[in-house]
Structure 1
Amino acid sequence: MMSEYKRLHPISAVASFIKQLKELIIPFVAIGVLGRGEKSSFWEYMPLIAIAVTLVFVLAAGIIKWLRFTYRLEDGELKMEYGLFVKKKRYIPFDRIQSLNFSEGILHRPFGLVKVKVETAGSTDTQQAEAELTAIPKEEAKELEDIIYREKNKGKSVQNTSQEESPAEDIKEVKQEAKVLYKMSVKDILIMASTSGGIGVIISGVLIFLSQFGEFIPYEAIFNELEEFVRSGILFVSVMVFAGLLVAWILSIGWTLIVYADFTVRLKDENIIITRGLLEKKQITIPLNRIQGIRIVENIIRQPLGFATIQIESAGGSVLDKDSKDIKLIPLISKREVKEILTKVFPDYHIAEDFHVLPKRSLIRYLIRSVFWVIPITIAASIAFWPYGLLGGLLFIPLGFWGYMHFKDAGWNIENNQLSLRYRRLVKQTLFLKKNRIQALDRKESWWQDRKELGSLHTTIKSGALGYSSEIKDLDTDDLHEIYKWFSQGNEKKKAPSPTITFKEQEILGEGL
């Protein structure tokens, strides 16, 4: 029974020991270096003794923490008691629990255990989950989830069930199976690995690693054996670079396959459930009522190939938990399927395809912003390395094209109570926002923009622990007025947020209020 006091699995003491040990590696290495050399007296063994004593203390602390940690479900609350020296109690009501996230690490899987993270309505303001059960049996985790889920939905079940229906029918409704919305194939994961920016990190690491071989590899001996090969140095360097890129590519694909294996998205009543992972299996639950916005992301490789990533901005989560602040609903999907899948998950959202674009007079400002910083560099290079420094001017071509892409991709759309924005940072992004989810909508007009009847739009929504902001520059002032008027209408009870603005901007804003 979950109402009885329960302890975590003993492996949690080992996990705690390993976690503390990782934090002590650098001090231990430093002590080990200081303690090198022959030992001629007892005091010279003190560094090693200090390490041994510390290890024993950390292990003992982990065991005591495990013994003192208990949890149970009672009176509609998750109750925990814990503490190494001072015993603490934490009671979390079921109605505050937003979701339970499961993960199975290498230490968990052999014993049939999972780690449970409890996310609550107040988790946003903390740097970690509201509570964490580091190692409990899968059966208990499932029972814990079912009990909390049943209690949270009891009122809804009563409202949706007539008086003639039996309680058993209520329970059956609450425990209905989750509906599979999307499942990534191995082919999808391979395409995602090949078109992701993660390969760049691995390539950089491989190149740095290879650069360290100069001190250890006897290049002269190798070159003496391969004189002809050395003479064609360009070929040698090319082969080495190609081999490094190939290894990085293979590592990137392998790691992506491990992380995203069996990636599945399910919908159960009012929750999205995402499961993935080969070595470490994870299950992330996102309540629909916490979702603040939907974002479609297209990087420079996937965009021409017709692929995109769907991300959701969710209120809550912790600063240190990457899974809770950067939620990929679907890591890779064909753009042709985006509207269909989002309509299934979010039927109340309008997936806009037609956008109001920027006025043509905005283009020059986008081009100037893209190439402005190259001008002083080109001038300095031309003076120092005349006439070859003039070649720096060739940078104007790709940077100008990049500025044009920023201009071309920017746009907006309003459909009933939803604002859709399209813009480019490093990648192209399309953001769908409900009016009641927008925390702040700011309109700014500088002196230079005012001369061209242009302005910038800045929106903020609650996402993760820090929020998510977007900005579109150089919109037509008439479009800005229309967007601001749309946001202001229906928000009389909630004063529309406004930035610190100049007197000129105050006059312009006053027309829309």
Structure 2
Amino acid sequence: MNRLHPVSMLYFAVSSLKESLSYTWVIPLLFVLFKSKSSQSPWFIAAAVLLLLLVILSVGWLRWKSFVYQVNPGSIYVKSGIWVKKERWITPERVQSVDSTVRVYDRLFHTITLTLEAAGGEKSGMVLSCISQEEEERIRGVLLQKPSPGADAAGQVPSEEARITAVDLSEQIGIPLRDLMLHSTLSPKFGITFVLLFSGLMKIWDGSRRDAEALFAKLPLWLGPYWILYSLLLLAAVSWIISLSITLVGDYRFTLRREEDELCIERGLLEKKKTTIRQKRIQSILIVQRPLQRLLGLVSIQAVVIRGGEKEESRKTSVLMPILKAKEVPVFLRMYTEYRLTDSYRHLDKKSWRHYVVLPFFVGLLVCVPIVLWVPRPYGGLGLLIPILAFILGWMEFKHVGWWIEEDQMSIRYGTLSRRMVIMHRNRIQWSRTTQTVLQRRRGLASFKAAMASGKDAMKVSLRHVPANEASKAMVWTQSKKPT
């Protein structure tokens, strides 16, 4: 039996603290107790905090002491638990992904944290915190059924020619620093950071109006007559620096590598993360193109992957490429996935435009009427923009919606300002259905919806207000699945 590195006691202590947060109802009782006792003795709070730290560290030590594992030729055996002993076996057939993370404390002790995700629900995964790099490679070799470095499946060292061929079969792509900077500028993080900083400044203005008025009185003297423009530019620069810092921490040295039927993603600055995705676990491909990305001809590619671990249960997608030129997408998909990009799409008929344009326009009218009547002028007049904006967005979506079925693959594109394209494989679809309302029946329209498994909740994609015969064709296509 093997034990984890002793520093993993910190991991177990932090995990125990996170799990104890579910008992939030105890916090008000402790607050009342501390408030009453602290007035009598100032040392009470310090003693209580020290006792709490001792309890957390003790639980971390007990969980580390009871956690043992064993690497067998065809499985990983793990035994854990303080009061209730749990025994788990993970075999290569149940493994969905093997992810490794090098945290800050891992660098100090030259260790790696390994996260194993297996099929079977929320509690089926496990985390091996603070193991050596050699142990991490050995576990990967067992679970991913790979031979040890320098040897083939039979344990023999390959020849030089075979070794060169194996290297040539591995494809790799990375993101330069300048592209990461561009990605940070175009991502929503920049806009969100700008809005938060601007809102914070307005809050400070309301809280300390005298000091703020004195500052704003000096700004024209410092920055000149265009001080408002310069202030906004300075705020945008600070927002960009914060957004860039967040992007670099998460995606620094982003590298995607293909090794046979697996995709390995490595990224991170403070924490170096390595994620392994099996191609057969990819349920669909999601291509996202935000407004600024569309102007520059860029896209972001994500993969909908089955996730069964505790930490990844709520996440539906894994980013395969944060930023990529749109013209390079066909080659990228052909090289790193089993999916392909099509150039042909079927578009909506003219009888569908009312559902996309007219109905949102009338809803916008209903919303704008009370705004125009009750909001003081001239701000109330801005309510007239709501139906106009709803009309424009509905028309953009009507013109963009498209779909195409080709052999065992279906492509659906949708969206208005931010456009998305989903590429699904027929054998990856979990369920599908068609619906038809009274208005749709009159015009010979219907809606089609399909879902792919992706953790606790399935990821759904739909085609709204398409011709009824096209919705029926899509249903027939999903039901004629071939065995994988």
- Shared fold, TM over 0.5: yes
Q: 1:220 to 1:108 in 2, by over 3 A?
A: closer
Q: Does 1:97 align with 2:95?
A: yes
SS across alignment from 2:105: coil
Partner of 1:73: 71
Match for residue 4 of structure 2 among 2, 5, 8: 8
SS across alignment from 1:466: coil
Do 2:427 and 2:481's aligned partners in 1 also have CA atoms closer than 8 Å? no
| Structure 1 residue ranges, 4+ long, deviating more than 6 angstroms after superposition | 22-30, 36-40
CA shift for structure 1 position 447? 0.7
Q: After superposing the two structures, state which structure 1 stretch, 410-419 or 397-406, moved more.
A: 397-406
Do 2:368 and 2:387's aligned partners in 1 also have CA atoms closer than 8 Å? no
TM-superposition CA deviations, 1:314-359 (whole Å, max 9, x none): 123346427963201111100000001111123x533111101111
CA shift for structure 1 position 41? 5.1
Partner of 1:219: 211
Do 1:406 and 1:423's aligned partners in 2 also have CA atoms closer than 8 Å? yes
2:179 and 2:128 mapped to 1: Cα distance?
A: 33
CA shift for structure 1 position 360? 1.7
TM-superposition CA deviations, 1:153-197 (whole Å, max 9, x none): 9xxx88xxxxxx995459x88x95572332111121111111111
1:71 and 1:411 mapped to 2: Cα distance?
A: 51
TM-superposition CA deviations, 1:57-108 (whole Å, max 9, x none): 1111111211221111125221112222343322223332233100111111
Q: Does 1:423 align with 2:414?
A: yes
Partner of 1:116: 114
TM-superposition CA deviations, 1:442-475 (whole Å, max 9, x none): 1111111111111111111112331110112111
2:146 and 2:336 mapped to 1: Cα distance?
A: 24
CA RMSD between the two structures: 3.6
Q: Counterpart of 1:7 in structure 2: which amino acid?
A: R
Q: 1:33 to 1:252 in 2, by over 3 A?
A: farther
Partner of 1:190: 181
Q: Does 1:130 align with 2:122?
A: no
CA shift for structure 1 position 136? 0.9
2:375 and 2:49 mapped to 1: Cα distance?
A: 59
Partner of 2:363: 373
1:31-430 paired onto structure 2 within 5 Å: 35=34, 45-74=43-72, 76-122=74-120, 125-126=121-122, 130-150=125-145, 167-169=156-158, 176-177=166-167, 179-214=170-205, 215=207, 219=211, 222-223=214-215, 226=218, 229=221, 238-318=229-309, 320-321=311-312, 325-346=316-337, 348-384=338-374, 389-424=380-415, 427-430=418-421
Q: 1:259 to 1:379 in 2, by over 3 A?
A: same
Partner of 1:502: none
Do 1:455 and 1:474's aligned partners in 2 also have CA atoms closer than 8 Å? yes
Partner of 1:500: none
Q: Counterpart of 1:132 in structure 2: which amino acid?
A: V
1:457 and 1:273 mapped to 2: Cα distance?
A: 34
Partner of 1:501: none
Q: 1:22 to 1:206 in 2, by over 3 A?
A: farther
SS across alignment from 1:301: helix
Q: Does 1:444 align with 2:438?
A: no
Q: Percent identity, aligned pairs only?
A: 24
Do 2:348 and 2:401's aligned partners in 1 also have CA atoms closer than 8 Å? yes
1:432-511 paired onto structure 2 within 5 Å: 432-489=423-480
1:52 and 1:476 mapped to 2: Cα distance?
A: 68
SS across alignment from 2:291: coil
SS across alignment from 2:93: helix
2:343 and 2:40 mapped to 1: Cα distance?
A: 79
Do 2:96 and 2:307's aligned partners in 1 also have CA atoms closer than 8 Å? no
Q: Structure 1 unaligned segments of length 5 or more: list them.
A: 159-164, 495-513
What's the TM-score once normalised by structure 1's chain length? 0.81
SS across alignment from 1:91: strand
Do 1:267 and 1:273's aligned partners in 2 also have CA atoms closer than 8 Å? yes
